[in-house]
Chain A
Amino acid sequence: MTKLLSISALALAASTAGAAAQDIGACLITKTDTNPFFVKMKEGATAKAEELGINLKSYAGKIDGDHESQVAAIETCIADGAKGILLTASDTSSIVSSVQQARDAGILVIALDTPLNPIDAADATFATDNFLAGELIGKWAAAKLGDDAADAKIAMLDLGVSQPTVGVLRDQGFLQGFGIELGDPNKWGDEDDPRIVGNDVTAGNEEGGRRAMENLLAKDPMINVVYTINEPAAAGAYEALKAIGREEDVIIVSVDGGCPGVQNVADGVIGATSQQYPLDMAALGIEAIAQYAADGTLPQPTEGKDFFDTGVALVTGEPVDGVDSITVEEGMDLCWG
């Protein structure tokens, strides 16, 4: 009888232990579930969650900028009793109150890719150093131009009028890397360096990239350096330049490292791009949630930074002195999408 009892007790213990692992719930909330960047992120999170026996649920906005769906997703995760949330916020400021509710409920919230505003609104941020990503392409463009950098004509193709942090960081990083004095580093468009022809917004897609490039070319047709927020916008800008026959004498730089973008570097459409690693962000995020669920450890930021840096590398076919870069082939191996 005692034996039977102890066996059933053991069985019970085993089953609760098994259930405990499955009981760790985690949520992944992305801007959309169609952008290859977030598809890759979901892939990384799902694989790691399966490995660690975590029950992962994924949510996404309908379109980029769909803030309401993300708030609803956070509320669902709270109601669901999740242990951790990985969040790529569409609206980095407005989401803060919802994030606070989740944290009050004892949930670990990690911002992926896009830092919240303020950054410490989340328990941790796992992201590309977007400022550094911008700085790398800025330095590369300046080195590429050499002495001509002193009278370059620069077009800035940004993300959106609401100036989300990721767009601001890349923009400001690029300018700093290029050697242009920044105004307020928390916003773009306030610099008074005459080399900047203007800023325009692209929504991060081809259509917006083309329109923004056309607008700035109408302002000054002699633009010779184009910063773009991401590679689809760069592809659109290239079409606008091609339409006026200037695609050969303009340097386009970008950030992301998606496979079509890296292919565009190979084809000479984009001069250089800074590559980021969404799969790593998500996998590391899931590991951090597992750790937190096990013993309450909070993830620590990279030394000297206020977030955990998941790395960035400059991809170009034409390396320049003084700026580390990887080749197009290496970039292709690591690309996403």
Chain B
Amino acid sequence: MTTSADEAENIDATAAPQAEAVAEFDQQHSTLQRVQHFLHQIPAAVPLIVLVLSIIVFGLLLGSKFFSPFALTLILQQVAIVGITAAAQSLVILTAGIDLSVGAMMVFSSVLMGQFTFRYGIPAEIAIGLGLMAGTVMGVINGVLVAFMRLPPFIVTLGTWQIYLAANYLYSANETIRAQEIEEHAAALQFFGLSFRIGGAVFTYGVVLMLVLVFGLAYALRQTAWGRHVYAVGDDKDAAELSGVQTKRVLVSVYALSGLICALAGWVLIGRIGSVSPTSGQLANIEAITAVVIGGISLFGGRGSILGTLCGALIVGVFSLGLRMAGTDPQWTYLLIGMLIIVAVAIDQWIRKVSV
């Protein structure tokens, strides 16, 4: 990555300031360590590099069929739901938590939107609003249990995952609302399934929502006090509390936002599959965690970027579509994704050493 000339220059450059420095940590400067330092500063770099590489590899293997605006935007459409739930998951994992209930909140919210419209005749727009509120309330329940009852997030969401999912089945009686009925009577429910074209590229509004959401959250996390507090809570909760961060409030806000985002994902889900089906999204929690981990967000909290999560979701999407187009058995996708997860965590551990 670095030429020897660069290296020489660098040694010169470091030699000079060291002479006038008042107090400085002893810095080591092997190429590997500089890479490590670079990755530490820009956590989205690893997944971005992997993403670009995988697109190039599949592009070379499959040619214009894969490397076309249509196929590439198809990947965006396919990862929209995972991408959105993974954004919610990222927020929670940044606080050193985990939210196993994202898929359940998503599918229950979508079922509530559908059933409110068709069972009670509530106008779709209001039913959607109620569904979004329901998602937020589910998130608040998670948040309160974690922040105020001081229960471990894993345990809390392990419980609420099953509670929300069971409530979803019980309430819906596992009844599917067909796409044709929704189209006729409540088109607003399918809003995020609508698409527009730019050349050969096809974007759904669901994709737009995912991108807006991810970039919006990335901004909020970097530039606002709330965002810095989220990182602080994840990095060291006690230290954050001592320095005046209202950690409980931050935690509840994160889980509530996670619930709201999952409800939005539920709305997008209706657009994507056309119908309202209570059996959807059963693996969304695992897929979201996968995207987050491959995206380089540390499961130990306080490190990583939500843009990395987007890359993580896209990597999974590229692998899935690429391997399918190459005609391989779907098992290979799972195998490679599994390997990516382990490599991602290994890289995360390695990068962490720089900060110790």
Contacts and interface: CB of A to CB of B under 8 A. Distances in A.
Contacts of B178: 235, 260, 263-264
A34 to B, nearest CB: 4
Interface in B27-71: 65-66, 70-71
A200 B65 CA distance: 18
Given A34-B169, A205-B279, A232-B279, A239 B176 contact: no
Interface in A209-261: 209-211, 214-216, 218-219, 232, 235-236, 238-239, 242-243, 260
B279 A35 contact: yes
B180 A206 contact: no
Give the residue among A161, A216, A218, A269 with the most B Cβ atoms within 10 A: A218
A195 B141 CA distance: 53
Contacts of B175: 36, 337
A218 B174 contact: no
Nearest to A65: B282
A206 B74 contact: no
B329 A267 contact: no
Contacts of A14: none
Interface string A109-150: 000000000000000000000000000000000000000000
Interface in B237-272: 269, 272
B273 A206 contact: yes
Nearest to A36: B174
Contacts of A239: 179, 193, 272-274
B126 interface: no
A323 interface: no
Interface in A4-49: 34-36, 39
Interface residues of B, number: 38
A78 interface: no
Contacts of B274: 206, 235-236, 238-239, 242
A239 B192 CA distance: 13
A236 B174 contact: no
Interface in A136-178: 161
A215 B328 CA distance: 12
Interface string B76-111: 011001000000000000000000000000000000
Contacts of B208: none
A189 interface: yes
A215 B277 contact: no
Given A215-B324, A243-B202, A34 B174 contact: yes
A298 interface: no
A284 interface: no
Nearest to A35: B174
Given A34-B169, A232-B176, A263-B178, A207 B280 contact: yes
Contacts of A337: 175
Give the residue among B202, B274, B277 with the most A Cβ atoms within 10 A: B274
A278 interface: no
B174 A39 contact: yes
Interface residues of A, number: 35
Nearest to A258: B176
Contacts of B275: 206, 235
A331 interface: no
B327 interface: yes
Contacts of B202: 243
B321 interface: yes
A201 B332 CA distance: 13
B135 interface: no
B327 A161 contact: no
Interface of A: 34-36, 39, 63, 161, 189, 198, 200-201, 203, 205-207, 209-211, 214-216, 218-219, 232, 235-236, 238-239, 242-243, 260, 263-264, 267, 269, 337
28 contacts: A34-B169, A35-B279, A36-B175, A63-B282, A200-B330, A203-B282, A205-B277, A205-B280, A206-B176, A206-B274, A207-B81, A207-B269, A207-B273, A210-B272, A214-B74, A218-B71, A218-B321, A218-B325, A219-B325, A232-B176, A235-B178, A235-B275, A239-B273, A243-B193, A243-B202, A264-B178, A264-B180, A337-B175
Given A207-B81, A239-B193, A243-B202, 13 more contacts: A200-B330, A206-B275, A207-B272, A214-B74, A216-B324, A218-B71, A218-B325, A232-B176, A235-B179, A235-B275, A238-B179, A239-B273, A263-B178
